[in-house]
Amino acid sequence: MQVDFSNNYFELFELPVQYVVSQDHLDTRFRSLQRYLHPDKFASASDAERRWSMQAASFVNEAYQALSKPLSRASYLLSLHGISLDEETDTQMSPMFLMEQMELREALGDAPDAADPYAALDKISAQLNNGRRDSESAFTSAANNADWTEARTVVRQWQFLEKLNSEVQAQEARLDDAL
């Protein structure tokens, strides 16, 4: 088994360079790479080989993380096509989308004071989950059509949904703590 640092993540995992991947395949290949690179196997190896194995293991981990999560896999695929998200410099987004985001954040802010805070959070979660599902299918079809401009727009919006989703979960945890 070889770990070639010039491979992209898909190649490393013996997958076609496309958004849809088999999680089973990803997991199986990850486990076999981990076994191959296990520190025990390099216990009596030279310093150079040990260093190589550690670098390879961190390369494999990085690749696995990037390919396992839908949003990061989409972002990575964009980067392979030379598309930058400009996530810190390009602040222009659809006003309609930003308006919805603002409303969702207002709803999240109001949730703790609602008569049933959990129900309020569930409502936001449901909306976010729909949005994330829509993002995934919109990205899949944009990528299939090689429409990278559209794919970039989808990913940039998707990032807001994931961020807000983690804030909803944090809020839920705070409610649990207060019980």
Partner 1 sequence: MAYSDKVLDHYENPRNVGVLDKDDPNVGTGMVGAPACGDVMRLQIKVSEDGVVEDAKFKTYGCGSAIASSSLVTEMVKGKTLDEVAAIKNSEIVEELALPPVKIHCSVLAEDAIAAAIADIKAKREEQSTVKASA
Alpha carbon separation from 55 to 37, 43, 47 (Å, rounded) = 10, 15, 12
Distance of CA 138 to the CA centre of its chain: 15
Residue number, 3 or 85, with CB nearest to partner 1: 85
17, 20, 45, 102: which one contacts partner 1 (CB under 8 A)?
102
Nearest-Å Rg of the Cα atoms of the chain is 20
20, 93, 114, 173: which one contacts partner 1 (CB under 8 A)?
93
54: nearest Cα among 3, 11, 127: 3
4, 24, 40, 88: which one contacts partner 1 (CB under 8 A)?
88
92, 177, 178, 179: which one contacts partner 1 (CB under 8 A)?
92
Residue with tokens 């296990």: 38
Q: Confirm or reject binding of residue 156 to partner 1 (CB under 8 A).
A: yes
Q: Confirm or reject binding of residue 149 to partner 1 (CB under 8 A).
A: no
User: By the 8 A CB rule, do 131 and 125 touch?
Assistant: no
Residue with tokens 């839908």: 70
Site string for partner 1, 103-142 (x = CB under 8 A): --x-------------------------------------
Give the three-state DSSP class for 147: coil
Q: Confirm or reject binding of residue 38 to partner 1 (CB under 8 A).
A: no
Q: Confirm or reject binding of residue 95 to partner 1 (CB under 8 A).
A: yes
